[in-house]
Amino acid sequence: MACGLLLWSAYSFATKLEPTIYYQTDPAHQLQLTDLIEQGEWQRLPLGSEVSFGYTTDTYWFKSRIPAANEDRILSLGYPLLDSVGIFFVRNGEVIETYHVGDKQPFDERPVEHKNFIVPLPDRQAAEVYLQVRTESSMRFPLEIWQPLAFMQEQQYLVAATAMYFGLLYCMAIYNLFSFGVTRDPAFLKYSAYIVSIGLLVAGLDGTGYQYVWSEWPWLQDRIVTMIGSLVFLFASMVAAQVLQTKTRSPGLHKGLVTLQFIYGVIFILSMILSYAVLIPFVLTLAVFGCFYLMLTGAVLWRRGLTYARIYTLALGSLLFAVICNALGYLGLFESVFVQRYAIMIASAIEIMLLSLVLAIRFNEDRRERLVAEQQLNTQLEAMVGQRTAELEAVMGKLREANSELEQKSNEDRLTGLFNRGFLDEELPLEIRRAQRNKQSMAVLMMDIDHFKPINDEYGHLVGDEILIQLSDLLKDTCKRAGDRIFRYGGEEFVILMPVTDEAGAQEIAERLTMTIREHVFSTDHGMMQITASIGIAVYHPSVYEVSESELLAVADDALYRAKHAGRDTVRAARVANPNSKYTESF
C-alpha cells in the first residue's frame, strides 16, 4: 500500500513538458536523417498520447519541436527495454548534438546513468529532436522534457517506492529461506525461489536490474523478460502444487501443473538460444494462460473445502490483473507505461504477502494434523501393547517438550529475544478482557528509536542490530514489574504492555525509560554510540467502556506520532475515549 501511494504521488504531482510528437515508419530501415530533415511524410500522435505501436520489426522515426527556455533541460524516454535509440538535435537544418543509447549497449555508455534513457538538451535555445528507434520489445515509451531539479524531485518518490518493494521481496525471501531451514518444508524453499524470480523479473522490466545488477551483460538484459518470466511461472506452478497439495487432493489438476512446469522449463532453455522477438508473444500468452490455470486450481480446491485456497485464489487474481495489463501494454492495446510498469510491482507485492499467509496457514494446519495423527497412533499403541506404555509416555513427553519449545520460539523475536508482534496480537486481547473483568486500568507504551534509519544507512544494518539487541536488554533491566511484557513491534518500534497501571504510573515509567536510553552508551563495531527514543502512551479505564486491541494500539501510535513531532526524545500520552466518539483525551 505504501509503495502504491508513493508511486501515485510521483505520477500525480510530476512537473514536465510532453511535446507534440510526429512519426513515420521505415520498414526497409533505409531512411536517413538528412532526408527526413528536408522532407518527410510525418503523422502526428494525438496530444498527450504516449508512443505505443506494440511489437513491430519496423524502424520508427519520431520528431518533436523543443521550445526555447530560460533553464537547462533534459529529454527522457521512460521505457528501459528499447534496443537501439538514435537521438539527434537539429537547428536550422544542422545536427548540433547526437546520442546513441539502448539496452543492447553497456550501461556505462549512457550519457546519464539512469534506468531509463535520459540525455541533456544541448542548450536553452529552440531546436528539433529526431529519434530513430528500433527494438524487438514493444515500440512504446513516453517522451518528456524536464527541468533537472523537477526530474530529481519526481524520481525520489519512484526510487523510494521501488526500494520499499525490493526490500519487501528481500525480507520475504530471507524469511522463507529461514523457515525452510527450521521446518525443512520444501514449500518454503520453492516460495523463496518464486519471490526471487519475481524480483528479477520486475528489476528487468523496470530497468533497475540493468542499472545495478547486470549492467555489464547486455545479452542478459536483452533476454531477461523471457528468461525470468518463464522461471516465475515455473516456480509459481511448483508452489501451487506444494501449497495446495494437488498431488493428493486433485491428481487431474496436478498433471496440468506438471505440464506447465515442463513448458516453462523448455521456454527458459529456448530463451537462451532464440531471440526475444521470437519468444515474447508465446511468453505473454502463456503468462495469461498460466495465471488463469493457477486461479482455476485454487478455485476448484476452494469449492472442495480447502480453507486457505480462497486466499491463494485472491492472491493470483491480483497478479493476473497485472499480467493482463502488461500483455495489453506490450501489444500496444494499453497506453499507460506508468500503469503497466508499476501495476505488476504493486500486484506482486500483494500476492507475495497473501501467499505468505497461505503458507503459514497451511503449515499450521499440517502441524495440527500431524499432532492429531500422532495422538491417535499413541492411543492405539497403548491399547495394543500395554507393556510399552511407559516408553510411549516418555516419547510423548519429549514431543510435548519439542512442541512447547517451538511454541516459545514462535513467540519470540529472533534478533532481540523479546516477544514478537504475533504474540502481542494474542496477549493484548486477553489483557484487555482481564482489565475489564477486574475493573483495573492498564497502559500500553509504544516506543520508537529516534533517527534510526540514518544509523542503518551510514553504519550498516549490523550496527543497527547491535543497538536493537542492547536496547532490548536495557528495556528488560528497566521494566521488571510483575506482569509487564515487552514486545518488538517491528523494526525499531517496541510495545510495552503494563497491566494494573494508571496515567501517573505509565508516565513515570516512560520518563524513566527515555532518560535511561538517553544516558546509556551503546557499544558497537563502529565505536560507542548514543540514541534517544520517543514514547506514546495509551491508558485504558475499563470501568467506563470497552475497547478493542486495534483501537488501543492506534491511540498509542497517535501519541507516539505526537511525541515525534514534539521534537523527539519525549513522551506523549492519551487516555482512550469512548470509541463511538472517535476521540482520545490527552493528558
Fold classification of 151-365 (topology level): Rhopdopsin 7-helix transmembrane proteins (1.20.1070)
Residues near 15 by beta carbon (within 8 Å), at least 6 away in sequence: 146, 147, 150, 153, 154
Residues near 453 by beta carbon (within 8 Å), at least 6 away in sequence: none
pLDDT of amino acid 99: 94
What is the number of other CB atoms lying within 10 angstroms of the CB of residue 33? 15
> What is the residue type of 32?
Q
What is the number of other CB atoms lying within 10 angstroms of the CB of residue 109? 10
- The answer to whether residues 99 and 150 touch, using CB atoms and an 8 Å cutoff, is no
pLDDT of amino acid 586: 57
| DSSP secondary structure letters along 125-164 | S-EEEEEEEE-SSEEEE-EEEE-HHHHHHHHHHHHHHHHH
CA distance 338 to 52: 13
Residue whose entry in the numeric block shows the C-alpha cell 511489437: 55
pLDDT of amino acid 211: 86
Residue whose entry in the numeric block shows the C-alpha cell 501494454: 329
Three-state SS for 349? helix
The string over 459-480, giving b where at least 16 C-beta atoms fall within 10 Å of a residue's C-beta and e elsewhere, is beeebbebbbebbbeebeebbe
Three-state SS for 583? coil
Q: Do domains 16-146 and 151-365 have the same CATH topology?
A: no
Q: Which of 79, 57, 60, 22 is nearest to 335 (CA)?
A: 79
H or E element in which residue 255 lies: helix 251-271
Instruction: Specify the pTM.
Output: 0.56
- The answer to whether residues 554 and 582 touch, using CB atoms and an 8 Å cutoff, is no
What is the number of other CB atoms lying within 10 angstroms of the CB of residue 260? 22
User: Between vectors from CA 84 to CA 82 and to CA 86, what angle results, nearest 5°?
Assistant: 120
Instruction: Report the chain (587 residues): mean pLDDT per 10 consecutive residues.
Output: 43 60 88 80 80 83 91 89 91 91 88 91 92 86 87 82 82 82 81 84 84 86 85 86 84 90 91 83 80 82 77 70 63 52 69 71 67 68 64 64 63 89 91 89 94 90 92 90 89 93 91 93 90 94 78 92 92 75 51
Give the start-end residues of each E strand in 170-225. none
What angle, 0 to 180 degrees and rounded to 10, lies between the N-to-C axes of helices 218-243 and 276-303?
20
Fold classification of 16-146 (topology level): Immunoglobulin-like (2.60.40)
Domain boundaries of the chain, sorted by first residue: 16-146, 151-365, 372-410, 421-586
Q: Name the CATH architecture for the domain at 421-586.
A: 2-Layer Sandwich (3.30)
CA distance 214 to 316: 29
Query: Could you tell me how many residues make up the chain?
Result: 587
- The answer to whether residues 21 and 64 touch, using CB atoms and an 8 Å cutoff, is yes
- The answer to whether residues 276 and 136 touch, using CB atoms and an 8 Å cutoff, is yes
pLDDT of amino acid 581: 44
CA distance 236 to 248: 18
Q: Which of 82, 137, 54 is nearest to 328 (CA)?
A: 54
